[in-house]
Amino acid sequence: MLERVAAALLVVASMAAVGLDLDAVRARSILAQRGLLARAMIATLVVVPLTAAAVLALAPIDADTRVGLTLAACAPGGASATVLTLRARGDAALTAALVVLATLLSALATPALVALLTGGGSRASLVAAASGAGVAIALQLVPLGLAVIARAHLPGDVTVRAARLANAASNLLLLSLIAGIAIARWRSVLDAGPWTFGASVLLTLAGVVAAHLLGRGAERESRVALGVSTGVRSLSLALALAATVYPAPRTTEAILVYGLAMYLVVGAAAELARRADR
């Protein structure tokens, strides 16, 4: 319960930080980068799920664990990518746009991918994905929109201070979430075994690297945004699908292990990018 509250607050704070720093010119320039947006969606909706299928077909793990990792790999739109992009000094506004776009597409794409890769899927999976995407969109767009409106009507010094506060809150919440998952779920990591954790690390790295390569030719900040937004998956969507369609305990456990590996890998990559930009 506390993990979900912290995750929701993290989404709100990170989107507010982006909105307080976003103007109309920048928003239009992001929407005009159709080729870059398309390549990002290929990375998050095609490369990561297919890599998951290849890796998990070879990994010596049980069927329920394999389903859990597949659900995580097929669930794009992790909103915590925004704060990690801010941390890495990347284009957080572009990340926010990619997260929202991936979340919109996930309502249909995720059930289709899950059905394709697991041989399952049902009307329940579509309902769960659509519901999860709807909640995610609300948590993302409402604070983002309110922050953009505030930026347009408040004095510049006020919005700057508010953006710094939202950014600091995002970083604190992210660290708290990672620490909370690690402390509360350490036994799950041990029980899942090294293959589950290793596969999660490999899939996260594959997403980050693939998106970074597909962004070749773009500015450094944009490539960072692509890598982070692809590497971070929507754990809430994956858990919703698991609870609705694949309720086996090891499936949920595998998603949580994936989440811990994901935050550790992308967090380390963001820190390296931040240091390299000094």
pLDDT in tens, 4-46: 676 677 667 777 777 777 666 777 888 788 889 999 999 999 9
Region of poorest pLDDT, from 98-112, 153-167, 169-183: 169-183
As a residue count, the chain comes to 278
CA distance 102 to 82: 13
Please say if the pLDDT value at position 266 is more than 90: yes
Exposure string over 110-135, b if 16+ CB within 10 A, otherwise e: bbbbbbebbeebeeebbebbeebbee
Domain enclosing residue 35, as ranges: 2-276
Q: What is the CATH number of the domain that holds 147?
A: 1.20.1530.20
Give the mean pLDDT of 180-204: 79
In angstroms, the CA 13 to CA 10 distance is 5
Q: In this structure, what token pair is assigned to residue 97?
A: 């746009």
3-state secondary structure of 218: coil
pTM here is 0.80
Confidence band (pLDDT; 50, 70, 90) for 203? very high
Q: What is the pLDDT of residue 119?
A: 66
pLDDT at 102 over 90: no
DSSP 8-state assignment for residue 44 = I
Q: How many domains does the chain have?
A: 1
How far is residue 31's CA from residue 77's CA, in Å, rounded to a whole number? 17
Q: Which amino acid is at 182?
A: A
- At 114 the pLDDT is 80
Q: What is the pLDDT of residues 116-173, one digit of tens each?
A: 787 655 566 666 666 666 666 676 778 877 887 888 888 877 887 887 787 777 777 7
For residue 274, give both structure tokens.
């931040």
Q: Which range among 83-87, 201-205, 238-242, 244-248 has the greatest average pLDDT?
A: 201-205
Mean pLDDT, the chain, as a whole number? 81
- For residue 192, CA distances in Å to 65, 179, 182 come to 8, 19, 14
